[in-house]
Structure formats: C-alpha cells, structure tokens
Amino acid sequence: MDKATTKEVLEFILESLRLIQRRFKDIKNSDDFLEDDNGLDKLDSISMRLQSIGEALKNIDKREKELLLKVADKVYWSNIIKTREILTHH
C-alpha cells in the first residue's frame, strides 16, 4: 500500500468500513462470533480490516501530517493507530 496514492488509501479505508458494517449486521452480541465457523470467520475478517485501516492511517500520517489533523486531533488518530497495534501484536 506504500505506492498507493493518498486518495486510493482513503478509498480503501472507506471500503473497509463498509465491509465491517456489513459483516457486523447480524451480530447482536460478542457471543454471536463464537457460535459457529461463520461467526469466527466474521471476527477474523473484521479484525483484519481494522488492522488494515490502522496501518493505512499510520501511512497517511507519515506521508501527509496535516491531512488527518484537518478532520480530528492527534489523540483521536493516535488511538485508532494504537488499536491496530493492539490487534496486531497482542
């Protein structure tokens, strides 16, 4: 994703958010993820998308420091990126 334009990265993030919303549609509580393989597949898929979003935002932040700050403060973006770190490494 390093070679993608900022616009392409933002489009990827939007598509990932749409997919996450669609996959959460039938989930009513956390136990729904554990009921069967379909639930576990959704959990895995959502987790991977969240990691990808965090990585994409991290790359945007490195490339264009001020772009994200036009939308929200540094603490907001830092929390999202930290969530990616938690999902990936813990």
- % the chain with pLDDT above 70: 98
Q: What is the pLDDT of residues 43-87, one digit of tens each?
A: 999 999 999 999 999 999 999 989 999 999 999 999 999 998 898
Question: Which of the pair, 41 or 2, is modelled with greater confidence?
Answer: 41
DSSP-derived secondary structure for the chain: -TTS-HHHHHHHHHHHHHHHHHHHTT--SGGGGGSSHHHHHHHHHHHHHHHHHHHHHHHHHHH-HHHHHTTS-HHHHHHHHHHHHHHHH-
Per-residue pLDDT for 2 more than 70? no
- Reported as a pLDDT band with limits 50, 70 and 90, residue 10 is very high
